[in-house]
Amino acid sequence: MVVPLGATLGNTSCLDDEPKLLGRILTCMSELRIGVIGTGMMGCEHLRNLMGIANVAITAISDPHEEQHGWARNTLGDRASGVAEFTDHRDLLNSGLVDAVLVAAPNFTHKSLLDDIFETNIPVLVEKPMCTTVEDCVSVVKAQSQRSAITWVGLEYRYMAPIAGLLHELRSGIIGNMKMMSIREHRFPFLVKVDNWNRFSQNTGGTLVEKCCHFFDLMNVAIGSQPVRVIASGGQDVNHLDEVYDGKRSDILDNAYVIVEYENGVRTMLDLSMFAEGGRHEQEITVVGDKGKLEAFIPGNGKIFFGERSSRSVREIDVPTDPDIAHMGFHFGASFIECKRFVDAVLNNSQPEVTVVDGLWSVVIGAAAHKSIDEQRPVLISEYGL
């Protein structure tokens, strides 16, 4: 199945009328019961997000590790006594306690978790990357087309105020015909995760899938065209070089340059360094057209910048953070906005803003970038049969 970028998949199943009935029931509900699968760092972050949403009841959690159950209890505080705990996600799914679930388990578990969730008609928000391989992502897209409940992919960088502001101004046509986009992320190394699962590419999909799917998603959203070719150079040069777990040395990249060429002629570049803690900004995003350019910085100061070619002038554009964000968290409130919009979509029986198709294409570019590095050549997206 060829799935074009920007395509939408119908969420209406022809199998029976039960999904439609569920949608009508959820639309009438004033409170959504949510279960969280995976209560490590991001799972607990999402618990905090959900606790700040008025029409959400957190009713269940699932994690195979007792320590992570303790993290969840500490996060929930007084609410913990009303939350059922499971060590097997299948028991949570079959409990009758949840109307929707949020998956924040390790990357390599996403495919099997989604397979089990898709056996139900429970709406799900799954953390990025949707899966660790292109093949698994394609499988998820096909499976989603056969069910009515929504699947929302956690690519929340779209909702950071500076980035949302840049995308808004870009859509206004302020820069003219878009020609180039660059994203620089200079940041700290990967954080420690449960059992150090994120130290190995086979578990994460590789750095350019695990971390950078966010940025490839932003490129796809900004450009609105099919990526056709990827050229990349990268390596593991500073971080985790001496880390060995169960006799295996960490193999995750800590720096790369990635160039992506699109069908409409736009070119993009990612500049990634994960040993650059000392910069003024963690991310810098620039979009250039034939009339001017837009710049956004994270952390920002509530502003983005527009440079006009004809006058050679630069002006500030205000992009304030939403004052209704209840939990700012790791991503400047973007994860809260993502969770709130997911809840609204489920309760209103509406389509997800970030679809499984978006999840697929964000992984395709990352996978192609890794292939380009490994094989030292440009990689055509057509090689994936998409």
What count of residues does the chain have? 386
| pLDDT at residue 15 in the model | 35
Do both 176 and 243 map to the same domain? yes
Residue at 12 is within a domain = no
Residue at 11 is within a domain = no
Q: Which domain holds residue 295?
A: 158-329+363-384
Structure tokens at 208: 């350019």
Q: What is the dihedral of CA 181, 278, 191, 100, to 10 degrees?
A: -50
Around 53, how many Cα atoms within 13 Å sit in the side-chain half-sphere? 26
Residue at 59 is within a domain = yes
Lookup result for tokens 């620039």? 286
User: Per-residue pLDDT for 235 more than 90?
Assistant: yes
Give rounded-to-5 percent helix, strand, coil for the chain.
40, 25, 40
| pLDDT at residue 160 in the model | 97
Q: What is the pTM of this model?
A: 0.93
Residue at 9 is within a domain = no
Residue at 341 is within a domain = yes
Residue at 13 is within a domain = no
Do both 44 and 135 map to the same domain? yes
Do both 244 and 140 map to the same domain? no
CA angle 263, 150, 20 (to 5 degrees): 130
Do both 322 and 349 map to the same domain? no
Structure tokens at 151: 């699947």
CB 34 within 8 Å of CB 59? yes
Do both 247 and 275 map to the same domain? yes
Tens digit of each residue's pLDDT (9 = 90 or more) over 265-292: 999 999 999 999 988 999 999 999 999 9
Residue at 33 is within a domain = yes
* Pairing status of strand 303-308 against strand 379-380: unpaired
Residue at 3 is within a domain = no
Tens digit of each residue's pLDDT (9 = 90 or more) over 327-366: 999 899 999 999 999 999 999 999 999 999 999 999 999 9
Do both 204 and 306 map to the same domain? yes
Do both 279 and 348 map to the same domain? no
Give the 3-state secondary structure of residue 174.
coil
E-strand ranges in 63-177 read: 84-86, 100-103, 124-127, 151-154
Tens digit of each residue's pLDDT (9 = 90 or more) over 241-252: 999 999 999 999
CA distance 70 to 62: 12
Do both 146 and 181 map to the same domain? no
Indicate the number of domains in the chain.
2
Do both 121 and 186 map to the same domain? no
Looking at every residue in the chain, the average pLDDT score rounds to 93
Nearest residue to 258 via CA among 278, 229, 281, 222: 229
The domain that contains 36 carries what CATH number?
Answer: 3.40.50.720
User: Per-residue pLDDT for 181 more than 70?
Assistant: yes
Do both 87 and 214 map to the same domain? no
